[in-house]
Amino acid sequence: MANEEKSAVDQRLQNAVYGTPKINPDEQRRYLGTFRERVCLTISVAQLGERDWSDALRLELKKGIGKLVFLNGNLDDEQLRPYMRAAVQEHASFTLKTDPEFSTAPEKLAVVVAAKTAVYQSPVDVAKRYPNLSNPVSQVKSPAKQGFWQRLFHSR
C-alpha cells in the first residue's frame, strides 16, 4: 500500500512540475486543440487564402452536429472575421487559439468545426466536403433573363 501512495504522490509531483500529460498531443496540435474524432470540418491556411469559405462554415453549423469553432488566432483578423461572423450568426461558440504551436504555414489549419463528443465525420476537408462551393466558376451569376419586350426588339 505504501508503494501505491508513493506512486500517486510521485504522479502529482510530476504533473505539478511538467503539467498534466496530454493524450495525442500531435493530433491536438493539428486540429487546433481538439481530437480528430470530434472534427466535422477543417479549412487550411492555404484554402483560407484561396477564397471565402464562410458559406461552407454556415452550412456545416446548420447541421447542428458540431457547434464549436476553433480559429487559428495567429492569422490576421481580416482573414478570420467572416468566420467569426458566421459562427455568431449560427449561434456557435468560437475560440481563437493563439498558442505559438499553432503555425500559420499553408498546410496548417485555420478553422476547425468540432463537436463536444466524438462524431467520426469523413471527409472533413472543406473542399472535399463541399465540392460545389469550391469552384468559383459555379458561383458566377447566370445572365439575367430578358423580358418579353427586350427579346422582341433586341433579338438578333
Q: What is the pLDDT of residues 94-132, one digit of tens each?
A: 999 999 889 899 999 999 999 999 999 889 999 999 888
pLDDT in tens, 58-85: 999 999 999 999 999 999 999 999 999 9
CA dist 90 and 111 (Å) reads 15
24: left (phi over 0), alpha (psi -120 to 50) or beta: left
Cell numbers at 111, concatenated: 478553422
Query: In this predicted structure, what is the pLDDT of residue 137?
Result: 40
Give Dmax (Cα) for the chain: 99
Tell me which DSSP letter residue 23 carries. S
Domains, the chain: 39-134 (3.30.1330.30)
* Residue listed under C-alpha cell 469523413: 122
The Cβ of residue 30 has, within 10 Å, a number of other Cβ atoms equal to: 19
CA dist 18 and 97 (Å) reads 21
CA triplet 75, 95, 37: central angle to 5 degrees? 100
